[in-house]
Structure 1
Amino acid sequence: MKCIRHTAIIAAVLCGTTATADVTAQQVWDNWTEQMEVYGQGFTTGGEDMSGDTLTISDVKIAMSDDEASVTAALGDIMLVENGDGTVTITVPDSYPITLNLTPEYYDPSVINLSVTHEEMVLNVSGDPEAMIYDISADRYAISIDSLEGGAGEEIELTDAMFAMIDLAGTYSVKSDNLTRIAYAFNVGALDIDVLFNETDGEGIVAANGDIADLAMFANIVTPIDMDMEAEMPPFIDGLAIEGGYTSGAFGYTFDFDVDGEAASGSSTGDGGTLGFEMDIDGLSYIGETRNISLNLLIPNEVPFPLEVAMGNYGFDFQIPLSQGEDGPHDARMAFNFTDLAISETIWNMADPQNILPRDALTIALGLDAQVTPFFDFLDPAQQEAAMMTDVPGELNGVQITELTIRGAGAEITGGGAFTFDNSDLETFDGLPRPEGKVDFAINGVNGLVDKLIQMGLIPEEEAMMPRMMLGMFATPVGDDMLTSTIEVNNEGHLLANGQRLR
């Protein structure tokens, strides 16, 4: 809940739009203050003055807090100028301070002094009083840490800590019907992160740098009108829904630290990626992908050579239904992939100095789709206790293997198939719903891989006999070190391997 509240507050304070509209300066200011009240926070000001087409709000401060931290932003004077066409332009000082007070339960209190600076920033507001749209653009928008006090200042000396967005443009909107609907979308030409700390009483350093190109972010948040932002359980049952994510272009990171005798440095690059998240009363989904990753790592006190790894693609996709619904089984998904994972020749030579194994890249990919019927709405507080007490919170109705690939060291296993489940028959498989369906496998190069592992001394030859016998029982030869296998459960509950009954 804190994350939702803080995200919405920051967006409300920092964002704005252009479009055909009819709003006044006073209406825009009232909208800001109303949003702060909803999120349990507020403005303090030195006064308001309307002169001609300009509303000036003097000495604006924004505060938000929880049990272990408080944040105060001193924006100074804000001017809201009516443009004569139903839009309002907001002018915020080019820089202003933010103070973060940390009071953790088990550590010394600390104060972090930050500053926000921007260049050529334009904020416009349009729409109407019930549905305002904000538009923001800036050549540069940066947040930096200026100093540390208290416990943090005693341990480290700050040299540089800056987060900057270049060529920022985006929109933010708020409207209300029976729910409050917040939406934003921002594009950033380049994101730059620089961090450098020195150890106060020693020679230790911590340095990091990150650069991301072509970053596009979005979020949509739907909340109940009078949502309690301090509630222990988020009110998904009342309409709360959250979705968001980003896409990015090429990125690069470097780091270097040497503290208390522990040292490491490294770098990583990639061609970009995506991340998406969605959660409401009906379910949760989380999906992401990163392309063409390379990692170089040096840990001189632990490993006497550089560690180098590259990967063509890394991704995941999880979809989990969380409510009963009214339209039958719900879709679920679990998928991940590590595609073309390659390690350096140095690491290969340590593991395989005789160059016995093929040094092709490793790929592991699994995709499972399913249909399930939950018996509860798991995000409804009234049903959670019953859901936790039950032995079976739902039914599994079907599973499809959409992808199965294991490839590397000269061998490959692929597969696919589908099963349905009869939940009225819990006897055939000892308390589990009876499956019906089949899965097909293609197994290539496995015997050759076993031979090479024996040659390397990693597997005693006598211990390899059992895996070979199992392959002979469950697989059919179709070529030189090429096997296929079909595992099936028929409608009578019989388990078959390549047509031969095993159960």
Structure 2
Amino acid sequence: MFQRSISYTALLVGLFDASAAVADLTADRVWAQTIDMIEEAGGSITALATRDGDNLNISNVRFTFDIPDTDETVIVSMDGWSLLEKGGKVHVEQPDYQEIVVKVAGQDDVTARLGYSVRGDMGVYSEVEDTLIQTWDIARAEVKLIELIAPDYDPAEATVEFVLSMNDAISNMMYMGNGHQQSVQSLGEMAFDMTIVTPAEDIDLSASARMRGLMNEGFQTVNFKGTPDEILAELTAGGGLRANSALDGMEFKMEGNVEGEVFNVSFAADKASSNVNIDNGNASVSADINDIAFNAFVPAEIPLPLSGGIEKIAYDIDIPLAAAPEVQQVHIGMEYLGLGISDTIWAMFDPTGQLDRAPIDLIVDLSAGVRLDRDLIDPNIEELMEQDPTQFGSIESLGLNELLVSALGAVAIGSGDFTFDMNDLQTFDGIPRPEGEASIVVSGLNSVFDQLIEAGLLQPDQLMPIRMGLGMGFVATGEDELTSEVEVRSNGGVYVNGQRMR
């Protein structure tokens, strides 16, 4: 669990000095802000707001959200809450328990009646100069299904139960007058449990999920309430968006019995993180997840239990967003490390254990030099791409910085670097003429062939055409090592291992 030292006070450091003007915030202002936020998110809200001294009571609340690309609408109804003006701040007060009704209105209406209980500080709003500050500190909140009304659902013949809960939820938000925002949130644990039982159809299912130690941090220095042109101007002038998140772990499990067939599926992962950054006309996205484990036993489909794991999955992408006369760099990288499966799975096609069962690794790292003639954040980008994709610019170079594939005891390592002449579209029939070199070295491939033959997965007479095909592009450069080198010269000549192929 992240320490609670990430607090409201920490958010203020560097933004306000001791002489900053602190205004007395009103409940009416907070209520108006709430309405604005919901409408900006594409929804609407109606409620009865009545004044009782320092209290503004919000009752008979009804949220409405249209589901995109459908004819369905989500309607959420609840008793409400109160906004208490106290010491220049506004405190949110909710009952410890209230019922919430969620209805999905469409061709087939579905209604769920939920019980909502909460403990903790439901929220405090304050204002410093032109910045609205919102803090929450919830010890525990729980949503539990009380009643479900849906077509073809009879509670006398089936039962559906679910509980969604969270512990130690802390949130600090700043809404600045210029439309910029800053936020820090942490969550000790979120849990979901559900059961479905239909005796007449012999169905008994249960599912659960857990997420631990979630941390989010965001900072937005662009007013996304502006027009597309205004947003574009802020981004190209140095405005941006930063969002970082981290997670201590997660688990998912589903098991049950369907018409006499027992099954169970589970998934777990350790620490994970993600980062999004838009700054100075560039965007970068990265994420990683570690120590993934999965298990599945579905005897109706596969008679044996399946299990495995991955040590790490990671990717990172960096791209320019703004047009510029000079060449800009694009980077794409991904890693899949330590992919392993259980001996039970191996035994299905390699019962005698002939194959090398070491985990599989894959690493790809690419870079490119691009010239952008138009902004990729142009609000009309989809229409422009349909008209002519080439109007956005050109790819000037492409580099394979790293390629690594390790599986079955064999390892392939590759690299390469090419430039493109955008003024020469004749040499390669409409394609910008490339120039550069690439190479790949494969070691251990002959050992893999031997293993496949020993395992009975490859016949000796099938190996000859495979070797002939490899001989067209590879040469032996060592003990059980093959190398392929490709060169494209300025005159359009294509050479493979020194032999001209074009």
Task: Give the TM-score category using the shorter length.
Answer: 0.7 to 0.9
Contact 1:73 / 1:96 at 8 angstroms: preserved in 2?
A: no
Q: Does 2:47 match 1:44?
A: yes
For residues 350 and 387 of structure 1, what CA distance do their matches in structure 2 show? 48
- By how many angstroms is 1:369 displaced? 2.0
**Per the alignment, in what secondary structure is the counterpart of residue 347 of structure 1?**
helix
For residues 152 and 302 of structure 1, what CA distance do their matches in structure 2 show? 28
For residues 235 and 259 of structure 1, what CA distance do their matches in structure 2 show? 56
For residues 237 and 74 of structure 1, what CA distance do their matches in structure 2 show? 39
* Aligned counterpart in structure 1 of residue 78 of structure 2, from 74, 89, 99: 74
Alpha-carbon RMSD: 3.3
| Equivalence for 1:306 | 305
Q: Report matched runs for 1:104-503 at 5 Å.
A: 104-105=106-107, 108-128=108-128, 130-151=130-151, 153-154=153-154, 157-177=158-178, 180-199=179-198, 201-219=200-218, 224-225=224-225, 244=243, 246-259=245-258, 263-276=262-275, 286-319=285-318, 325-377=323-375, 380=378, 382=380, 384-390=382-388, 392-393=390-391, 394-503=393-502
What letter corresponds to residue 410 of structure 1 in structure 2? G
Q: Does 2:88 match 1:90?
A: no
For residues 202 and 471 of structure 1, what CA distance do their matches in structure 2 show? 56
Q: Relative to 1, partners in 2 of residues 1:291 and 1:91: Cα closer, same or farther, differing over 3 Å? A: same
**Stretch deviating more after TM superposition (26-35 or 183-192):** 26-35
**Stretch deviating more after TM superposition (61-70 or 459-468):** 459-468
Deviations 1:153-179 (A, max 9, x none): 4488444312222111121222232xx
* Structure 1 runs, 4 residues or longer, greater than 6 Å off: 233-236, 238-243, 278-284
Contact 1:48 / 1:58 at 8 angstroms: preserved in 2?
A: no
Q: Relative to 1, partners in 2 of residues 1:198 and 1:431: Cα closer, same or farther, differing over 3 Å? A: same
Q: Relative to 1, partners in 2 of residues 1:422 and 1:290: Cα closer, same or farther, differing over 3 Å? A: same
Q: Relative to 1, partners in 2 of residues 1:461 and 1:58: Cα closer, same or farther, differing over 3 Å? A: closer
- By how many angstroms is 1:95 displaced? 2.8
- By how many angstroms is 1:282 displaced? 6.3
What letter corresponds to residue 124 of structure 1 in structure 2? V
Q: Relative to 1, partners in 2 of residues 1:65 and 1:385: Cα closer, same or farther, differing over 3 Å? A: closer
For residues 75 and 473 of structure 1, what CA distance do their matches in structure 2 show? 75
Structure 1 residue runs of 5 or longer lacking an equivalent are 1-15, 228-232
- By how many angstroms is 1:449 displaced? 1.0
For residues 264 and 49 of structure 1, what CA distance do their matches in structure 2 show? 57
- By how many angstroms is 1:320 displaced? 5.5
- By how many angstroms is 1:459 displaced? 3.1
TM-score normalised by the chain length of structure 1: 0.83
The aligned length equals 473
What letter corresponds to residue 44 of structure 2 in structure 1? Q
Deviations 1:466-494 (A, max 9, x none): 43244445444343212333322233333
Q: Relative to 1, partners in 2 of residues 1:312 and 1:382: Cα closer, same or farther, differing over 3 Å? A: closer
For residues 312 and 160 of structure 2, what CA distance do their matches in structure 1 show? 36
Deviations 1:337-387 (A, max 9, x none): 321111111111121122221111112222222233345445545454342
What letter corresponds to residue 497 of structure 1 in structure 2? V
**Per the alignment, in what secondary structure is the counterpart of residue 493 of structure 1?**
coil
For residues 218 and 329 of structure 2, what CA distance do their matches in structure 1 show? 23
Q: Relative to 1, partners in 2 of residues 1:152 and 1:375: Cα closer, same or farther, differing over 3 Å? A: farther
**Per the alignment, in what secondary structure is the counterpart of residue 31 of structure 1?**
helix
For residues 484 and 474 of structure 1, what CA distance do their matches in structure 2 show? 8
**Per the alignment, in what secondary structure is the counterpart of residue 267 of structure 1?**
strand
**Per the alignment, in what secondary structure is the counterpart of residue 302 of structure 1?**
coil
Percent of aligned pairs sharing the same letter: 24
Structure 2 residue runs of 5 or longer lacking an equivalent are 1-6, 17-21
- By how many angstroms is 1:291 displaced? 0.6
**Per the alignment, in what secondary structure is the counterpart of residue 75 of structure 2?**
strand
**Per the alignment, in what secondary structure is the counterpart of residue 303 of structure 1?**
coil
**Per the alignment, in what secondary structure is the counterpart of residue 301 of structure 1?**
coil
Q: Relative to 1, partners in 2 of residues 1:289 and 1:139: Cα closer, same or farther, differing over 3 Å? A: same
What letter corresponds to residue 500 of structure 2 in structure 1? R
- By how many angstroms is 1:30 displaced? 3.7
- By how many angstroms is 1:76 displaced? 2.9
Deviations 1:251-271 (A, max 9, x none): 222111434566531222221
**Per the alignment, in what secondary structure is the counterpart of residue 441 of structure 2?**
strand
Contact 1:263 / 1:300 at 8 angstroms: preserved in 2?
A: yes
What letter corresponds to residue 352 of structure 1 in structure 2? D
Deviations 1:283-304 (A, max 9, x none): 7765432111111110011211
**Per the alignment, in what secondary structure is the counterpart of residue 415 of structure 1?**
strand
| Equivalence for 2:31 | 29
What letter corresponds to residue 117 of structure 1 in structure 2? S
**Per the alignment, in what secondary structure is the counterpart of residue 303 of structure 2?**
coil
Q: Relative to 1, partners in 2 of residues 1:319 and 1:152: Cα closer, same or farther, differing over 3 Å? A: farther
Q: Relative to 1, partners in 2 of residues 1:198 and 1:283: Cα closer, same or farther, differing over 3 Å? A: farther
Q: Relative to 1, partners in 2 of residues 1:258 and 1:282: Cα closer, same or farther, differing over 3 Å? A: farther
**Per the alignment, in what secondary structure is the counterpart of residue 385 of structure 2?**
helix
**Per the alignment, in what secondary structure is the counterpart of residue 426 of structure 1?**
coil
Contact 2:142 / 2:164 at 8 angstroms: preserved in 1?
A: yes
| Equivalence for 1:6 | none
For residues 152 and 165 of structure 1, what CA distance do their matches in structure 2 show? 32
